Structure 1
Amino acid sequence: MSSRADLLSAAQSFCSAFAAGSSLDTVVAFFSTQTPPLVIEYGLPAFAPFLGRPFNDTNGVVEYFTSLTNLVQIDGMTFSDYVVDAEVRKVSVKGTGRFTWRETGQAWDETFTYTLDFDDALKVTKYQVWADSGALYLARTGKLNALVN
């Protein structure tokens, strides 16, 4: 069984690497090769191509992060309030950052949450994201600034 400290360290390492804009290969290396990983960012699939559908296995992880980073610029991402459940090898964390839809240049500040499940090698098996898909959609369609300015 993984200790609380081990799980916390694994989650912090993943979050720090992603927040630092690490390479796709670096981010993907945090995901399990023992168990096919699953990535899902909840939201209406019509809002963005990376929302509301499961991305399965390593190819899915690559597809999710490629789509996300090609469409959205992320700045100033920070993480706090880690909650660790060592019994089920799961960590939830609150994040904040500034997100910009690249095509329109419209940006919003956001608070979001991740839940990360880990295998016995401390690699991510399931990555779930809950974020502000409404702001994302409005930024994508160029309507966000009219509502917040």
Structure 2
Amino acid sequence: MPSKTRQDLLSAAQGFCNAFADQKPPGEIFSHFSTSDDVLALEHGLEQLAPFLGREFRGQDGLKEYFQLLSSNLKYENMRFSNFVVDPDVSKVSCRGEAKFTWTSTGQSWDEVFTYALEFDKDNKVKVYEIWADSGAAYLASKGQLKQ
């Protein structure tokens, strides 16, 4: 079993974040996730505000659905991550992200700061992927009301 050192977890988290920030192909992004059936993606927020919010996306099919919903509604650029905090005792890493997001159907964009909390399995693969972001900006942009 791989050791759970702070550096192992930091490297795994940075690898995942960099693949996402660099808009790597889905297969490469998914390669950072655990293949277990209990893998989870959860973007916190009210389900009524956006189709990818407030729902637990479980398993490989759930991950694919979550990322499909993201890519069909949002584009992003200039994504970067910082402030990585590693807790090897519980195999978790949190970090701060920043990017410019655009709601694709309306073309409305906003600059956002968001947080990831990543929990890793025994192989240093993402098992739980939680996101806290500005769901209000996403909702307003989806309705074409962000600039009003």
Output the TM-score relative to the length of structure 1: 0.96
Alignment of 1:21-60 (within 5 A): 21-34=23-36, 36-60=38-62
The percentage of counterpart residues that share the same residue type is 49
| Counterpart check, 1:20 vs 2:1 | no
Q: Match for 2:137 among 124, 127, 135?
A: 135
Shift of 1:16: 0.1
Shift of 1:69: 1.1
Instruction: Give the Cα separation in 1 of the matches to 2:43 and 2:117.
Output: 10
Deviations 1:32-80 (A, max 9, x none): 1245200000011111110000000011011101110111001100000
Q: What is aligned with 1:101? A: 103
Q: Match for 2:123 among 96, 99, 121?
A: 121
CA contact (8 A) 1:35 1:125 kept: no
Q: Which runs of 5+ in 2 are unaligned?
A: none
Shift of 1:29: 1.1
- Residue type of the partner of 2:133? A
CA contact (8 A) 2:36 2:59 kept: no
- Residue type of the partner of 2:24? S
**Aligned-partner SS, 1:110:** strand
**Aligned-partner SS, 1:45:** coil
Instruction: Give the Cα separation in 1 of the matches to 2:71 and 2:118.
Output: 19
What RMSD over aligned residues (CA atoms) do the two structures have, in Å? 0.8
Deviations 1:61-119 (A, max 9, x none): 11101110111001100000000000100000000000000000000000000000001
The runs of at least 4 aligned residues of structure 1 exceeding 6 Å deviation read none
Q: Match for 1:2 among 1, 4, 10?
A: 4
Output the TM-score relative to the length of structure 2: 0.96
| Count, aligned residues | 146
